[in-house]
Copies of this chain bind each other. A is one copy, B any other.
Amino acid sequence: MAVLQRIPNTTHVYEGSFTKSEFTSIDAQRLIDIHSQSPSVRVKPEYLYNSAQSPSLSNSQSFDLEESSSSPFRESNSTRDSLLSTASEKIVLMTGAEQSSVVQPLLTDLYQISMAYAYWKSNKHQEMATFDLYFRKNPFGGEYTLFAGLEECLKFIRDYKFHPTDIEYLRASLPAYLEAEFFDYLSKLNMNDIKVYAVPEGTVVFPRLPLLRVEGPVLKTQLLETTLLTLVNYASLVATNAARFRSAIGADKTLLEFGLRRAQGPDGGLSASKYCYLGGFDGTSNVLAGKLYGIPIRGTHAHAYVNSYECLEDLSERDLADRITGERRPFTDLCVQYLNELGPILKILPEETHKGELAAFISYAIAFPTNFLALVDTYDVLKSGLPNFLAVARALHECSYQAVGLRLDSGDLAYLSMEVREKFHTVAANFNLPYMGHFNIVASNDINEDTLVSLEKQGHSIDSFGIGTHLVTCQRQPALGCVYKLVELASSPRIKISQAIEKVTIPGRKNLYRLYGHDGKALCDVLTSIDEPQPQAGIRMLSRHPFLEQKRAYVTPSAVRNLYVLYWADGEIKAPLPTLKEVRAYAREQIDQLRKDHIRDLNPTPYKVSVTDSLFQFMHKLWMKSVPIGELD
């Protein structure tokens, strides 16, 4: 199968599979660019292919929408995973210096700049601050979230630098009485003296967990707010959405992301492809995502292609060479002959199938004889598309090829897929070609999570789903409400109170631990003050709801995991960053470590996020102190 290959800068070529431990932090700094969210494209990437591993048939797999797993003509690849390990996984590396992107210091809210000035003006800008980045509610009515976007955050922090034109623009936009020294300060600013602790990308997370803990001078940590939120919010939202689609349909089906045309902007489409793959999808139609992130790409033809033929006379090329003998065969005549044979088998009128559609299928099969997958709903699935497809598939067999399958893009997908499967079996029996019973059925019409749940309940015969609009725009909830709150300044904890209790922050620098039960499932998460000892396996502790004093429980974990990793300090990335594919595998493990009732579709059980008793007491004391007492009159 394909060899994973990375080419950092110009000097080293790595080959073979990587494990996390093989990365150094220097590699990590380079490799972070691989999955860059907003890549520019007119860069000059150091771009290489391993030509030794590109035989034609292996190559062609990356082009299949889906492959039949029983092909006698191709290299045997019986599992979905192996099918997806193809040429398109070769990873293209771009170094930071070569990239340009909209992700840069000015991609922020104006008030960050005005606060920066006010801090600077009052000489408060060097005070050490800690900010927590977290959300308050899981999306989509669920009880878990996949954390994504970290690599992009680290890249943004690493490359943070105002451009001279940025400074010019700010100087012209802000009041003229701002001191020149402030703009000088901004122009030289970098993020080398801040620290970022974070949970690893792909971790299952919950409301109120600080996903990032950002420490450093208050001016700098404040300046990062908007961009970090932008990078985490949508990435985590769409990755979670993808994971939910995956949970709804099970591990054995193929899920393909087809959302580019309906995404919220071009880069929204690119981010969607990347993070849907992270969340458990198998491939994308987005070619640029394939090139930039090594995601398998898939796709065949559209209705327009079918419409482009009116009749068989439109065919300029009518023949096809036999795959094995090379003998030229009268392919179009064979198709017509088999269509007529199919009439009584399928109980349809061969003369009533649309001959423009048949011509389109024939020309497509001539172009891609190893990858024939036909869109069959342009005129009528059962009366036209299906018989035309089967006629071409049977003729392909006559030329020593195997068709792949068909795609349904309208109508009742459960019913049609079962009807089509039944016809596949009938034809397989009639022609004595068992593989035809297992042709792939791809479905792709406005599918959302509810559709998948409903299809699973009704029964269906679909093998692959192409999912677009509702997946990438997150129809059910198009935004995740991550926030970024000051929790400590100049060694003094800060609380942000609110009349809305869920908006109150948990003050102070904190650590974050996941406690596991004896069955290996996650029991609850615990936030501790930075100076408290780590919870210990086998030691009973009191965990408390952060806001409600009556809600508390003793817990004796079988295992404890510190969820934080120090990712950025001393101006460099401190921890290895896994590949996108590794993050994808980790995310799946993470979901598997949750109890089933946390991830079920209907009324899932909330997962417990708690604080230690000491943090509870501390927080509530500060809270009381901050609320003014009114006077009744």
Q: Are A368 and B114 in contact (CB under 8 A)?
A: yes
Interface centre among A104, A235, A261 (most CB of B within 10 A): A261
This chain: how many copies in the complex?
A: 2
By a CB distance below 8 angstroms, the chain B residues around A498 are 377, 410
Q: Is A517 an interface residue (CB 8 A)?
A: no
Q: Are B266 and A59 in contact (CB under 8 A)?
A: no
Q: Are A176 and B111 in contact (CB under 8 A)?
A: no
By a CB distance below 8 angstroms, the chain B residues around A347 are 633
By a CB distance below 8 angstroms, the chain B residues around A317 are 121-123
Q: Is A141 an interface residue (CB 8 A)?
A: no
Q: Is A81 an interface residue (CB 8 A)?
A: no
Given A110-B299, A122-B315, the answer on whether A60 and B175 have CB atoms closer than 8 Å is: yes
**A25–chain B nearest beta-carbon distance, Å:** 25
Q: Is A367 an interface residue (CB 8 A)?
A: yes
Q: Which of A290-298, A533-541, A573-581, A604-612 contacts B (4 or more CB under 8 A)?
A: A290-298
By a CB distance below 8 angstroms, the chain B residues around A353 are 628
CA distance A297 to B114 in the complex (A): 12
Interface centre among A62, A90, A308 (most CB of B within 10 A): A308
By a CB distance below 8 angstroms, the chain B residues around A264 are 234, 237-238, 263-265, 268, 271-272, 473-474, 478-479
Give the residue of B177, B233, B626 whose beta carbon is less than 8 angstroms from that of A261.
Answer: B233
Name A277-292 residues within 8 Å CB distance of B: 285-288, 290-291
Q: Mark A585-599, 1 if CB is under 8 A from B, else 0.
A: 000000000000000
Q: Mark A450-466, 1 if CB is under 8 A from B, else 0.
A: 00000000000000000
Q: What are 23 of the A-B contact pairs (CB < 8 Å)?
A: A38-B265, A44-B165, A59-B173, A60-B174, A87-B172, A92-B169, A100-B100, A102-B266, A104-B288, A107-B266, A111-B301, A121-B363, A122-B315, A127-B308, A225-B304, A264-B268, A265-B268, A304-B485, A304-B486, A349-B628, A352-B630, A410-B499, A473-B479
**A300 (CB) vs chain B CBs: closest residue:** B111
Q: Are A54 and B234 in contact (CB under 8 A)?
A: no
Report how many residues on chain A are interfacial, defined by Cβ distance under 8 Å: 160
CA distance A398 to B197 in the complex (A): 46
Give the residue of B62, B101, B496 whose beta carbon is less than 8 angstroms from that of A378.
Answer: B496
Q: Are A233 and B262 in contact (CB under 8 A)?
A: yes
By a CB distance below 8 angstroms, the chain B residues around A165 are 44-45, 47, 92, 291
By a CB distance below 8 angstroms, the chain B residues around A499 are 377, 380, 410-411
Q: Are B54 and A109 in contact (CB under 8 A)?
A: no
Q: Is A364 an interface residue (CB 8 A)?
A: yes
Q: Are B503 and A367 in contact (CB under 8 A)?
A: no
Q: Is A260 an interface residue (CB 8 A)?
A: yes
Q: Is A376 an interface residue (CB 8 A)?
A: no
Give the residue of B226, B238, B628 whose beta carbon is less than 8 angstroms from that of A383.
Answer: B628
